[in-house]
Chains A and B, each alone.
Chain A
Amino acid sequence: MRKVRASIIGFGSVGRGVAEVILQKDDELKSLGIDLDVVAIADSRGAEVNSEGIDLNAALARKNETGTVAVEDLTGEYVIRNVDHDLVIETTPTDIETGGTGLVNMLAAFENGRDVVTSNKGPLTLKYQELMKAASDADCKFMFEATVGGAMPIINLIKGTLAGNEIQSIEGILNGTCNYILTRMMEEKASYEQMLAESKELGIAETDPTYDVEGIDAACKLVILSNSIFGQNATFQDVEVTGITKITPESLSLAYDEGYVIKLIGEVRKDRLRVSPRLVPASHPLAVGGTLNVASVRTDLAGTVTVAGRGAGSIETASAILSDVISIYRE
Chain B
Amino acid sequence: MRVSMDIELKDAPGQLLLALNPISELKGNLKSIVHHHEDRTPRSTIPVQLVFEVEHENLDPIISRLEENGIGVARVDEKRFMEHGAVILIGHIVHTDIQDTIDTIDKTGFAEVVDICLSMPHIDKRSSASLKIDAVGRKELHEAMAVLKKVAEKKDLLVIEPIEAEVA
Which residue numbers of A lie inside 8 Å of B, CB to CB?
171, 242, 246-248, 250-251, 253-255, 257-258, 260, 262, 265, 267, 276-281, 284, 286
Contacts and interface: CB of A to CB of B under 8 A. Distances in A.
Nearest to A280: B163
B161 A278 contact: yes
Interface stretch (B2-10, B50-58, B124-132): B124-132
Interface of A is mostly: mixed
Interface of B: 86-88, 90-91, 117, 119, 121, 125-130, 132, 158, 160-164, 166
A267 B125 CA distance: 30
Q: 3 tightest A-B contacts by CB?
A: A250-B119, A251-B128, A250-B128
B65 to A, nearest CB: 38
B86 A258 contact: yes
B158 A278 contact: no
B160 A250 contact: no
Q: Which of A250, A253, A262 has the most CB of B within 10 A?
A: A250
Contact of B163 (A246, A255, A286): A286
B162 A278 contact: yes
A39 B117 CA distance: 63
A166 to B, nearest CB: 15
Contact of A279 (B91, B129, B161): B161
A279 B166 CA distance: 11
Given A247-B90, A277-B158, A279-B88, A254 B117 contact: yes
18 contacts: A246-B90, A246-B126, A250-B127, A251-B88, A251-B90, A251-B128, A253-B119, A254-B130, A255-B88, A257-B117, A257-B130, A258-B130, A260-B162, A265-B163, A276-B160, A279-B162, A281-B163, A284-B163
Contacts of B160: 251, 255, 262, 276-279
Contact of B87 (A242, A247, A279, A280): A279
Contacts of A267: 166
A254 B88 contact: yes
B128 A281 contact: no
A262 B86 CA distance: 12
A257 B117 CA distance: 10
Contacts of B164: 281
Contacts of A257: 117, 130
Given A257-B117, A286-B163, 15 more contacts: A246-B90, A246-B126, A247-B158, A248-B90, A248-B119, A254-B119, A254-B130, A255-B160, A260-B86, A260-B88, A260-B162, A262-B88, A277-B160, A279-B163, A280-B163
B161 A250 contact: no
A56 B90 CA distance: 51
A133 B136 CA distance: 50
A281 B163 CA distance: 8
Contacts of B127: 248, 250
Given A254-B119, A254-B130, A257-B117, A281 B90 contact: no
Contacts of A280: 162-163
B163 A171 contact: yes
Chain B CB count within 10 A is highest, among A247, A251, A255, A267, for A251
Nearest to A279: B162
A105 B26 CA distance: 64
Nearest to A274: B166
Given A247-B90, A260-B86, A262-B88, A254 B162 contact: no
